[in-house]
Amino acid sequence: MNGSLHCCFPMLHITKKNKVAPLNDGALDRIRSDDEALEVKTLGAKQQPWKAPEFFRGAILPPGRMLAHQANLPRLPVPALSQTLQKYLSAVRPLLDDDEFQHTTKLVEEFGKAGGLGESLQAKLQMRALERQSWLADWWLHTAYLDFRMPVVMHVSPGVVCPPQNFNGQEEQLKFAAKMVTGLLDYKVQIDNQSVPIDKLGKNFLCMDQYYKLFSACRIPGERRDQVVVYGPGSNVRPRHIVVAHNNKFFSLDVYDENWKPLSQDLIHAQLQKVVYYSRYPSEPVGILTSENRNTWGKVYKLLKKDKTNKASLDAINKAIFMLCLDQEVSRGEDSKASMAHQLMHGGGSELNSGNRWFDKTLQFTVGTDGAIGLTYEHSPAEGPPIISLLDHMMDYCSQAPDVKETTVQPKEPERLPFTVNDKILEAIDTAKRNLDVQVKDLDMKPVTFQEYGKGFPKSQKMSPDSYIQIALQLAYYKLYKVPCATYESGSTRMFHLGRTDTIRSASVESLEFCKAMEDTGVPPGEKVALLRRAIEGHKKYAQETVSGQGIDRHLLGLKLTAIEAGLNVPELFMDSAYEQALHFKLSTSQVPSKYDSFLCFGPVVPDGYGFCYNPREDHLNFCISAFNSSPETDSSKLADSLHQSLLDMRELLSTQAKL
């Protein structure tokens, strides 16, 4: 979305003065002398100026409009412990049988009892929240991204497929690529002068931090932990180049004139022509190394850097404003949308375009020979909304830009970024090829356009389109498996400074009751409608609480990490099989709306699960469903068919009932 226990805990509420006040005595009172310490603080002028946490190396925002905006955002709150524990029990209830739920309830009561471990950890977490710009930001970046050692390809980085163009040969590919580059640089001007429109959710302004970590950013592999470097508007280094990949070769293109004005699309086109000429024959696919397991890639990266030539090339790639990949021809087969989704997710494999990539690059745009265009982005600096805002601007620009013309002005020569490879590096490349090809063959992608209706229909029924789609997905899954599953929907917490996401849990007691009723012919239609509305309202309420900083998943993670950092044993609550089941998201979902018929795609987060992303338009719905072929339990085509039927059933139910 773009999200009480019968125990004696300190209960908190937000007053109209934006103060968090204790309603009764408890652990929070013991870490401060007065209520003023509980104020939800903003980062105003008297406090430390905004800067990115240290793990975003170089991300500093200079004084200006955006810095002033960031300083006025509230900090992410720490929800009340009792509230989180009660909501946790409600969330796991549909996933557990009676005996399992009784066991989990006892663990929750023990954890949350007065004077117990939960209160102690809550107090420590609240203290952390008072001392930091965000109690969660560094924990989340490391836990979700930089400490995660699986390959970024398919497991972290999404692909975005934009509406395909119609190219007739390579020259049209290059002309469109030149327009694309110019449009992206046009957007970067807004980033540099801090004139990007500030996002809002209702009347609330949102954190814009992620927008300033998109350009000139790159993930750097480590043997145990990665880092992210950002050469943003406030950095001492101001990159003036992009990197273009073609035939597995990399080139640095200077895209500004001597006055720091972006070059014209005609000059950029002339440079791209030279890149293609200089890279007529493919090179060893060094870029495919970025698809490896992070520990493995970290070791190889260290080897590469020992050579001065390699070090200079790596430095140029890391600092580049973004990367442009000019791909070779791809045979589309019967499902061209699925083929494009694969191309944008991973390049299609070692025999196609996967070596023509640098998957660590935050922004990596692709232009195919047949009009396939889109983006692969490394996820650690940002979620989907800033990416889609950038892409929408790029598409607007390309649709309005004049035709590219030949120029008599000689642009600066593209600079080749060579790599020196020895036997160890070549062996690592061969291994990376094999490993990636296994993953590519295992990933099933099913892009679907549901043409029967769009978000206009649920709006006509006074229902939230996002909640409607989420409940339809619950019904689709239930039709196939006859049980619910833990479901993750990304809910933005950007109402708060440095906010990222929390989990909207779409599987609920209410959604399960509705699904059971829909599969029971004995339940009257009127009762089914009432259950549907109840499930949708329940989801909407949970989503609103989540985007307001009252989600449970990040709070529970914070309590767990607080215990670990304090040198304590992991609390039993987090060792419970119910907690493991609650985090085994067989449905991992995200709504990423766009003004164009673009769709975002990502892989499942568990071996027996699905990835599900959607872009709801007014009169149709765009989905992309992913699953692993190696799982006998999943089938993206079957889930797509079940979702199609569920959407039809729900419309028929509501339409029929409205006529009665």
Enumerate the active-site residues: 379
DSSP helix/strand/coil, 454: coil
**The two structure tokens encoding residue 252:** 């640095």
DSSP strands (E only) in 516-567? none
Neighbours of 134 (CB within 10 A): 22
**The two structure tokens encoding residue 127:** 């203290």
DSSP letters for 157-189: B-EEEPPP----SHHHHHHHHHHHHHHHHHHHH
**The two structure tokens encoding residue 528:** 């089914």
Distance CA 23, CA 658 (A): 46
- Which residues pair with residue 160 across a beta bridge? 375, 600
**The two structure tokens encoding residue 462:** 């006074």
**The two structure tokens encoding residue 438:** 């296994």
Distance CA 27, CA 446 (A): 50
- H or E element in which residue 384 lies: helix 384-400
| 8 A C-beta contact, residue 640 and residue 446 | yes
169-174: long-range contacts at Cβ-Cβ below 8 A with a sequence spacing of 24 or more? 169/369, 170/276, 170/369, 173/326, 173/367, 173/368, 173/369, 174/269, 174/272, 174/273, 174/276, 174/326
Distance CA 571, CA 594 (A): 42
Distance CA 609, CA 607 (A): 6
**The two structure tokens encoding residue 622:** 């765009």
DSSP helix/strand/coil, 169: coil
- Which residues pair with residue 361 across a beta bridge? 218
